[in-house]
Amino acid sequence: MAALSKSIPHNCYEIGHTWHPSCRVSFLQITGGALEESLKIYAPLYLIAAILRKRKLDYYLHKLLPEILQSASFLTANGALYMAFFCILRKCFVCGLERSCSDGFCFVELLWNLL
């Protein structure tokens, strides 16, 4: 296990989120950015599709917003969970394996400490 941790000499700040040293802050920034960009993508896309399909007023009032939010939340979760698990797995392999990862509690502890 020590050989595995020594083969990866960089922390996640150096190779994952180079704009901020904190994993939590980087996770929140990625989540906010992903949400903003996904809304910019899906809101016009669903609106144009609804106009081209000549949807009725009922669709715009009751279905358009939930569909936009569903797609935007999926894309946001994709970006946010990528960064979260990058840091979690990085910490588990670099730090956790040197301690006591075999009992299964280190993953929960690392997740708790990260978030």
Beta carbon nearer to Zn ion, 72 or 83: 83
Query: How many angstroms separate the CA atoms of 27 and 36, rounded?
Result: 14
Query: Under the criterion CB under 5 A, does residue 23 sit at the interface with Zn ion?
Result: yes
Q: Which stretch binds Zn ion (CB under 5 A): 7-15, 45-53, 73-81, 94-102?
A: 7-15
Min CB(103)–Zn ion separation in Å: 23
83 binds Zn ion (CB under 5 A): no
Distance of closest approach, residue 17 Cβ to Zn ion, in angstroms:
6
- Of 72 and 90, the one with the shorter C-beta distance to Zn ion is 90
Q: DSSP readout, 24-48?
A: HHHHHHHHHHHHHHHHHHHHHHHHH
| Residue 30 lies near Zn ion (rule: CB under 5 A) | no
The CA distances from residue 61 to 17, 55, 57, 68, 85, in Å, are: 40, 11, 6, 12, 37
Is residue 87 a contact residue for Zn ion (CB under 5 A)? yes
d(CA 90, CA 99): 14
